[in-house]
Structure 1
């Protein structure tokens, strides 16, 4: 590739016009860094799950399938031909961003990789530093800061508004290093946003269910507004995407409209699913709390607070009425 289309670094651009077949074609980039990381994570996770099963210890197949599905989604979206088109098409790049930030993180987080790591890491010389690092990451001040709403919500929104409205996209996308760096940022921001909402791993702090709802409701309208702004824009939001390769037959403004539509529609669906997940878990936790309370009352032979209140009312009823 040459001229105005040049991108620094080891990249491969397709020559055929975009199509579903070309998107899914197994055309790896010269340095498939992110697919390789996803493959390594899947192998390590599966090795840990198999270790527990061989020891006769339980580990949820649903969690395993969820995590492996997330890794597979990363490998396809970042490793197939779609990555080549995402180098020069705003709509494809937006689809990849939304997948990394909204669709993949819940699949990875539901897999509880932190818990699996703590259960399978040996306590000998080789495993001890890994275990200590994992415990430090899950319980340290830095871990508490990373999942705090004051940090992870602005980081999540910065990945949209900050990247495209500040000119950061035009600065980084012409380089392979900047392009891959943005993709890693998207994945990290999505994971940090999702972990405090649905993670079952041992975290430094846990938000209340009400706090999780606030985080979701704070993100969803701003996310939809971002998509509407892109759809209504009359000029290219990212100059780098304004001149796609001629052989692709792409109208850059129509492509930008598709990118805005994806941000508004595809970006909202995972948020709605997360909201439903939080509400269901809240209802289950409330039901479990009532059940534990009832069992405690039955075991103790009564509710101490209620008995004291009834005794107080009985004392009031037995007091002689005062007459003037």
Structure 2
């Protein structure tokens, strides 16, 4: 069932690329990632409905966010665009950026970990699931997975390591390698996003300043990577240098489009994440001030302000004695 140049169960479109062909419902012979996304959406929706039927609150906004992320995966990885992504650098880059930058925030905002803990029944069948979920959310392995020392190098590997080390030419001619890279992109994006905006019970949490540092360290990567690709005069990935003749694609032009996507499309989700973190930081600071004022009112005063006033009175007494 393999196509020329691709080993494994792959299907290549015969018509030239167009918007209609990109969105056409042409599934691959083994639509692994779309099926996984559909299963995740069904499990999530089942948990949310079970809470609503028990008159327990669960945010419709979080539900819509997670389902939107799953839908994006199904469309980008399940429609005809996946067939063109097998041999077009620009389409493959669009899929990579979607899996790494656009989809993870939607999934993470949905707080699937919290929903799992709240919706799983505490009986003999649900207890092992709860234990496994708690272990995953609070274990040392979870702490390592979202640590910048692991997460940032994995993010770098997904861009610079894949394309500059020859890994792309080694894996992309094989359907299994192609799917493996796409799963790597999705996992790397989720692990990068979780410590930034997740509301789930994580094994450790970064400060707002630490999150800002991570975002500012990541944002220039796409711009520099995109510029390098756009300035290249030879194909960066040899596998993409020979697309099917019926597609009528210029590989160098297509590579330039891929670089432009890495520069533009890759930056937009980072800017939105930065704004999200700033808003949350401001909100948490405001809550901290409110709690401080309430504590001061209950205690009959602000301890810091009282100490400062006592210090001023002490200085005034010393000046009177000096006179």
Category of TM-score, reference length = shorter chain: over 0.9
Counterpart mapping for 1:197-212 below 5 A: 197-212=196-211
Larger deviation: 166-175 or 117-126? 117-126
Which position in structure 2 is the counterpart of 1:76? 75
- State the distance in 1 between where 2:133 and 2:144 align: 16
Any conservation in 1 of the 2:25–2:79 contact (CA below 8 Å)?
A: yes
- State the distance in 1 between where 2:26 and 2:236 align: 28
Which position in structure 1 is the counterpart of 2:321? 321
Which position in structure 2 is the counterpart of 1:106? 105
Matched, 1:293 2:305: no
- State the distance in 1 between where 2:110 and 2:164 align: 34
| Displacement after TM superposition at 1:126 (Å) | 1.1
Any conservation in 1 of the 2:23–2:80 contact (CA below 8 Å)?
A: yes
Q: Please, what TM-score do these two structures have when normalized by structure 2?
A: 0.97
Which position in structure 1 is the counterpart of 2:154? 155
Any conservation in 1 of the 2:137–2:203 contact (CA below 8 Å)?
A: yes
Deviations 1:284-314 (A, max 9, x none): 1111111111111112110123212312322
Which position in structure 1 is the counterpart of 2:31? 32
- State the distance in 2 between where 1:133 and 1:226 align: 39
- State the distance in 2 between where 1:312 and 1:277 align: 41
- State the distance in 2 between where 1:10 and 1:141 align: 38
- State the distance in 1 between where 2:168 and 2:209 align: 35
Counterpart mapping for 1:69-218 below 5 A: 69-218=68-217
- State the distance in 2 between where 1:111 and 1:65 align: 8
Larger deviation: 302-311 or 267-276? 302-311
Structure 1 stretches of 4+ moved >4 Å = none
RMSD: 1.2
Any conservation in 1 of the 2:108–2:198 contact (CA below 8 Å)?
A: yes
Which position in structure 2 is the counterpart of 1:51? 50
- State the distance in 2 between where 1:241 and 1:291 align: 57
- State the distance in 2 between where 1:233 and 1:59 align: 49
| Displacement after TM superposition at 1:8 (Å) | 0.7
Question: Which runs of 5 or more residues in structure 2 are unaligned?
Answer: none
- State the distance in 1 between where 2:311 and 2:28 align: 77
SS in 2 for 1:306: helix
Larger deviation: 293-302 or 191-200? 293-302
Which position in structure 2 is the counterpart of 1:268? 267
- State the distance in 2 between where 1:84 and 1:297 align: 63
| Displacement after TM superposition at 1:224 (Å) | 0.8
Question: Which runs of 5 or more residues in structure 1 are unaligned?
Answer: none
Deviations 1:234-273 (A, max 9, x none): 1100000000000000001100000000000000000000
| Displacement after TM superposition at 1:154 (Å) | 1.2
How many pairs align? 322
Change (3 A) 1:9 1:2: closer
Q: Please, what TM-score do these two structures have when normalized by structure 1?
A: 0.97
Deviations 1:145-168 (A, max 9, x none): 111111111111110000000000
Which position in structure 1 is the counterpart of 2:248? 249
| Displacement after TM superposition at 1:200 (Å) | 0.5
